[in-house]
Amino acid sequence: MKSQATDGQQPTPGRANVTTRRWTVSLVWIVPIIAVLVGLSLVVHNWLQEGPTITITFKTGQGLTANKTQVKYRNVVIGQVTDVQLSADQKNVTATVKLAKTADTFTHQDSVFWVVRPRIGAGGISGIDTLLSGDFIGADAGQSKVRAKSFTGLENPPPITYGEPGKRFTLHSQDLGSLDIGSPVYLRKIPVGQVVSYALDAEGKGVNIDVFVNAPNDVYVTENTRFWNVSGVDVNVGANGFAVKTESLSALLLGGIAFRAPEYSPNDTPASEDKTFELFADQQSALAPPDGKAQYLALRFDQALRGLRVGAPVEFLGVEVGKVVAINLDFDEKQRSFPVNVGVVIYPQRLGKAHEKLLKALNHDPEDEAASARLMGSFVDRGLRAQARSGNLLTGQLYISLDFYPKAEKVAFDPAARPVRIPTIPGSLQQLQEQLQAMVERINKLPLESVANNLNGNLVELRKGLAQFNSKTLPSVQNTLQDVSKTLQSANSTLAEDSPQREQLTQTLDDLGRMSRSLRELSDYLSRHPESLLRGRPKDAPAQNLTLPVTE
């Protein structure tokens, strides 16, 4: 059974022997594989070395050429323009720039770019080298940590670059004047900085001017430093004649700013970055001592004030203490006239030691407005008046003078009025006009017609008298002169040197001289011996003392 069962099973098939062949690379593929590997390595290398791509928007494409215009920093190439196209709104030009890997810092958000081309500005002539090499894009890396891909190009190069040592300050002025970007900043006539930007202030009533002062001179800008405009020529006319001042030839042509700390500010500390200063019009006003508290006064003139301008000086006894701040025409309903209201501001502290003595003598507090008004009222009672005077006969400019006139008419003073009202008197020109008018009126009252008639009659009589003199008197005078001439000729001939009359006259004069001497000697003797008139000559008297000289 067992053998049958075994015999009944089918035999298991055997496994065939399979022989495999090894895969080998043919030498034909070695070269292409190496080429692919080299290409991949180059691609990877270029990708690793490739810098960022940015776009810069300019207002014009002048000087920009694709695959030619370079981007430079400190005259080193850091990129190239790859494409130049119009913007979507067709108002600007967009330049695509491929930067080098090492120029990655120029993708900071505050980086700036501009086209370098020949320019003439306040700082001089720049970009001359582009006449030969062609225009290129200048760049300056920013300091922001934020990256950007798009930038707006500048129309003009920035006056300073990031990282330049120094400080930036802001000056506030009423107007820009002749200043411009690049105008120099002077310290004792040495350029130490420049104007970097300017813009209107928030209210549009002034100009904010940003200046940069290079290190190490920035430490001389202190908390009390004063800035003033040195553009043009400063001409002063004084008792010593004309005085012409200018900071430099560059400031004369291009404008400039100067600064210095006043002499009365010891222990001053350097100013902080971005501090704001006031820009004065000239050095005199900039370095003047502090004005102190201002006091406003109201003046009312019943005369025309042509030539008076806002800013005109206000003088007290010849010392400038303020300026005119307002001039307005008013209408007086009672008088049916048009007076002129003038507002002035004065600074009593400008009086110097006189103001200090006044405060000390009167124990006056300048902060007390009521006391200040009463003090001003006492001055008005003593004759304080305001007057518009001529400051320049050529230009006709007027100024306000505060002076004492003891003979001025008394006026009522209101100490409660604000601002304080100061009475006025007619100006010097108006007084002169009134005097001339009075003189003309007096001349008109004279009987000029009768005087003219009498004068005509006198002239007729004078003419008749002259005619009679010419016809009768003049011929007789001529005859008399002829007789006198003959007499003089006869006297000349008589008194000639060789004439006998002259010899006799000479001898007579000699005799008279000797007689005069004898009489003088006799008189001297009689004055010494008056008794000789009674007694006669003494017996022992010398004869030479008594006898007169014998005449020849």
The DSSP secondary-structure symbol of 332 reads: B
pLDDT score, position 445: 76
> Which of 375, 253, 251, 387 has its CA nearest to residue 316?
387
Q: What does the angle CA 213 – CA 219 – CA 221 come to, to the nearest 5 degrees?
A: 65
> For the CA atoms of the chain, what is the radius of gyration?
55
What's the pLDDT score for residue 463? 79
pLDDT (tens place) for every residue of the chain, 552 residues total? 444 444 555 556 656 565 555 556 566 777 788 888 888 887 777 766 678 899 999 999 888 999 999 999 988 999 999 999 998 888 999 999 999 888 888 999 989 999 988 876 655 666 666 767 788 999 998 888 899 999 999 888 888 878 789 999 999 999 998 888 888 999 998 999 999 889 999 888 899 999 999 999 999 999 989 999 987 666 655 444 555 666 566 666 667 899 998 876 667 789 999 899 999 988 888 888 777 888 899 999 988 888 889 989 999 988 889 999 999 999 988 888 899 999 999 998 888 888 888 888 888 787 888 888 888 888 989 999 999 888 877 777 889 999 999 888 888 888 888 899 999 988 666 666 667 777 777 777 777 777 778 888 888 887 777 777 677 776 777 777 777 777 777 766 666 666 676 677 777 777 777 777 777 777 777 667 666 665 566 655 555 554 444 444
Q: What is the pLDDT of residues 260-269, one digit of tens each?
A: 988 766 677 8
User: Of the candidates 206, 196, 37, 62, which has an alpha carbon nearest to the alpha carbon of residue 136?
Assistant: 62
Write the CA distances from 103 to 71, 79, 97, 135, 419, integer angstroms.
Answer: 10, 8, 12, 20, 66
* pLDDT attached to residue 94: 93
Dist CA 122 CA 256 (whole Å): 10
**Which DSSP category does 469 fall into?**
I
Neighbours of 380 (CB within 10 A): 21
What pTM value is reported for the model?
0.55
**Number of helices (H) and strands (E), helices first, in the chain?**
12, 25
Other C-beta atoms closer than 10 Å to the C-beta of 496 total: 9
Q: DSSP states of 114-148 as a string?
A: EEE--EEETTEEE-TTHHHH--EEEEE----S-B-
Parse the chain into domains and list their residue ranges: 44-152, 166-286, 295-438, 451-488, 500-545
* CA atoms of 426 and 164, how far apart (whole Å): 61
Q: pLDDT tens digits, residue range 400-430?
A: 999 999 888 888 888 888 899 999 988 666 6
H or E stretch at 509: helix 500-528
